[in-house]
Amino acid sequence: MKYRTLLLIPATSLLLHGCGTGLLQSRVSEGTIEYALTFPDYDPDGLMASMLPEKTTLSFTEDKQVAELSAGMGIFRTMMQVDNSGKSMDYHMSMMGKRIVSHLKHRDMDLFNSDYGRPTILYTDDVDTIAGYPCRKAMAVFNKLDQREIELWYTDRIRMQDPNWFGPFAEVPGVLLRYDMVQNGIRMHLNATSVTPGEVDPAKFLPKADHDAVAPVVLHHELGEVLGTFSM
C-alpha cells in the first residue's frame, strides 16, 4: 500500500484530497451520528458479551459535540461534552449511583490517551462510503511494537471545528466515521451506521448538576477501575 504523509494542506489541496469533491459540496453542520460498537478481542458468545455496549451516539454542532455511551445494561454510563473552540471537555461518568464529572483541558488529554503513544498518521487514496457519506482512509501507525495499526475513515462533509483535537488522531482533517479506539487495554471498533442532520437540543451541552466534580486524575482512576471489570 502506498502512503503519503500530509505535511501542509493548502486550500487547493483540500479540494483535491478531501472526501469526494469535498468543499465543493454542501456540508452538514448540526445533527447526530450513531455508531455501532464491536470489540474485536472479545468472544461474542463469552461471559461479558451481554455487558458490553452495542452503540454510541455523537450529537454535534459546528463547535461542540456530545458523545454518550451506556454499558452493563445501563449500569455504567459516560457522556463527554466537548467544546472544540475552547479546547475543553466535561467528562461525566455514572456507575451504581456514583456520579462524577471532570473538567478537562488540552493538557489533560495525554493522561487519557496513554494507551496510544504518539501515532504517525499516513494518508492513502482509498475511498469508501460510510452511512451515506464519502470518506477517505488514513492509517495510524504506532511506535509501540505491540500496538496494531488502526484504520481511520474520515469525511469532510460534516462541518465541525477541530473534531479530533482531544484524541490521538487530532491531525486527521475530518470527522471519523469508522475507526478503533483503545482505553485501558480494551479495543473498541466504531462504525457509523447513520448520520441524521437536524437541530440538536441545546440542553445536551449544559452542565449536569447531579454529578460531583473531581480532578482529571481521579476520573481516570475511576474509569480504569470500571473498565478493568470488563476486561476480566
- Residue 106's pLDDT is 93
Picking from 126, 115, 97, 93, the residue whose alpha carbon sits closest to that of residue 216 is 93
Per-residue CA distances from 197 to 33, 49, 61 (Å): 9, 32, 10
Write out the DSSP string of the chain.
---B------HHHHHHHSSTTGGGS--B-SEEEEEEEE-TTS-TTSTTGGGS--EEEEEE-SSEEEEEEEETTTTEEEEEEEETTTTEEEEEEEETTEEEEEEEEGGGHHHHTTTT--PEEEEEEEEEEETTEEEEEEEEE-SSTTPPPEEEEEESSB--SSTTTTSTTTT-SSEEEEEEEEETTEEEEEEEEEEEESPPPGGGGS--TTSEE--HHHHHHHHHHHHHHHT-
CA 76/CA 113 separation, integer angstroms: 21
- Residue 47's pLDDT is 61
Record the cell numbers describing residue 230, joined without a space: 470488563
> What domains are defined for the chain?
30-230 (2.50.20)
Picking from 61, 58, 57, 41, the residue whose alpha carbon sits closest to that of residue 49 is 41
Q: How many residues does the chain have?
A: 232
- Residue 6's pLDDT is 34
Using an 8 Å Cβ cutoff, are 171 and 121 in contact? yes
Task: Report the DSSP beta bridge partners of residue 65.
Answer: 60, 82
CA 218/CA 3 separation, integer angstroms: 40
- Residue 46's pLDDT is 61
Tens-binned pLDDT, residue by residue, of the chain (232 aa): 444 333 333 333 333 334 444 444 678 999 999 999 998 887 666 666 667 888 999 999 999 999 999 987 678 899 999 999 999 999 999 988 899 999 999 999 988 887 677 799 999 999 999 999 999 999 999 887 577 899 999 999 999 999 999 999 999 999 999 999 987 778 899 999 999 999 999 999 998 889 999 999 999 999 888 876 665 4
| Cα dihedral sign, 103-106-107-113 | positive
- Report pTM: 0.84
- Residue 9's pLDDT is 31
- Residue 49's pLDDT is 63
- Residue 229's pLDDT is 67
Using an 8 Å Cβ cutoff, are 39 and 189 in contact? yes
With cell 466504531, the residue in question is: 190
Picking from 30, 38, 60, 19, the residue whose alpha carbon sits closest to that of residue 191 is 38
CA 123/CA 2 separation, integer angstroms: 9
